[in-house]
């Protein structure tokens, strides 16, 4: 399986109070645990089960994902730009794998 | 078979309302009740059907693997009045939970887009938990041509 690569599209600067759009995607199979291989054995579930966005260290948005989220989960959401700070994006996978990205946001 | 309005009314009076309404309009009272009951069973609380929730999905989509879903809830997102979380269900999927989106007042906006898997044509149900503890819900019919859950 190819390693998962997360990507984020978010502005680097915003006006105070402005609502910014954040687009995130991670390449991932999102194996549901409902499929069988050619020997009739269940292919174990392996999905991204949680996504968290921190802004200045504080959780500002999160998602609990289930099997019905498509492969290569895409999540688009909106944040209010309050202060300059670091945005952290964290994807947690079944089995404990974690993928991260960071982004600096300047608020004027 | 030709049915006049009079026939339908007569059938309704005779107790065939449920049959007639599902027959004529999929967005019927019966389907609404089923969605409400489902949410009540899953959450233990009766939801209110609300037009503050906007669940936008294509009415017809060729594949069930990646059906776009946009959710938008009308909310000021203040400490006193905000959306805590939105849960999405696909009742006809083998596993009916789709996702749960958690918001923070003043920081995030109750609006999100993603792509989901659907096993068959069905109503997708969105339930918003508001800061005062009430549940608001809405549902949208999506017709998919192929099963996206295998």
Closest CA to A29 of A88, A90, A85, A97: A97
Q: How confident is the model at residue B18 (pLDDT cuts 50, 70, 90)?
A: very low
CATH class of A6-107: mainly beta
State how far the Cα of B100 lies from the Cα of A101, in Å rounded to an integer. Answer: 22
Per-residue pLDDT at B16 exceeds 70: no
- Domains in chain B: how many in total? 1
- Pairwise CB contact (< 8 Å): A63 & B149: no
Among B99, B105, B147, the strongest candidate for a mutation testing the A interface, having the largest count of A CBs within 10 A, is B99
* DSSP-assigned beta bridge partners for residue B113: A76, B70
ipTM (interface pTM): 0.93
Residue B105 lies in a domain: yes
Which phi and psi angles does A60 have, rounded to 5°?
Answer: -115, -15
Dihedral, CA of residue A6, residue A21, residue B139 and residue B106, to nearest 10:
110
By Cβ distance, the residue of A32, A59, A63 closest to B100 is: A63
Query: What CATH number does residue B98 fall under?
Result: 2.60.40.2470
- Pairwise CB contact (< 8 Å): B90 & A58: no
Provide the shortest C-alpha distance from residue A78 to chain B (in Å).
Answer: 5
- Pairwise CB contact (< 8 Å): B99 & A77: no
| pLDDT, greater one: B15 or B59 | B59
Alpha helices in A19-97, H assignment, sequence order: none
Residue B47 lies in a domain: yes
| pLDDT, greater one: A76 or B35 | A76
pTM of the model: 0.85
pLDDT for the residue B33: 81
Kindly give the interhelix angle for B29-43 and B17-24, rounded to the nearest 10 degrees: 100
pLDDT per residue as tens digits for the range A41-94: 999 999 999 999 999 999 999 999 999 999 999 999 999 999 999 999 999 999
pLDDT per residue as tens digits for the range A3-13: 789 999 999 99
B105: CB partners within 8 A, 6+ apart = B77, B78, B79, B82, B131
């Amino acid at each position: 399986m190819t390693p998962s690569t997360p990507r984020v599209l978010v502005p680097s600067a915003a006006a105070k109070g402005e609502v910014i759009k954040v687009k995130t995607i991670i390449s991932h199979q999102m194996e549901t645990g409902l499929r069988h291989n050619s020997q009739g054995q269940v292919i174990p579930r392996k999905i991204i089960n949680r996504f968290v966005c921190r802004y200045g260290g504080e959780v500002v948005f999160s998602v609990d994902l289930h099997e019905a989220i498509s492969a290569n989960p895409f999540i688009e959401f909106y944040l209010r730009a309050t202060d300059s700070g670091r945005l952290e994006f964290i994807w947690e996978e079944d089995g404990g794998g974690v993928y991260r990205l960071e982004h600096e946001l300047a608020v004027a | 078979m030709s049915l006049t309005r009079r026939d339908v009314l007569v059938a309704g009076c005779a107790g065939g309302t449920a049959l007639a309404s599902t027959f004529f309009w999929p967005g019927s009272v019966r389907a609404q009740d089923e969605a409400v009951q489902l949410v009540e069973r899953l959450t233990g609380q009766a939801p209110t059907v609300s037009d503050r929730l906007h669940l936008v999905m294509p009415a017809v989509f060729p594949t069930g693997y990646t059906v776009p879903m946009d959710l938008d809830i009308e909310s000021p997102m203040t400490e006193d009045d905000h959306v805590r979380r939105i849960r999405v269900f696909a009742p006809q999927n083998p596993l009916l939970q789709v996702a749960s989106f958690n918001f923070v007042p003043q920081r995030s906006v109750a609006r999100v887009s993603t792509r989901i898997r659907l096993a068959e044509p069905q109503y997708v149900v969105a339930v918003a938990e508001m800061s005062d503890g009430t549940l608001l819900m809405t549902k949208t019919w999506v017709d998919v041509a192929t099963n996206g859950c295998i």
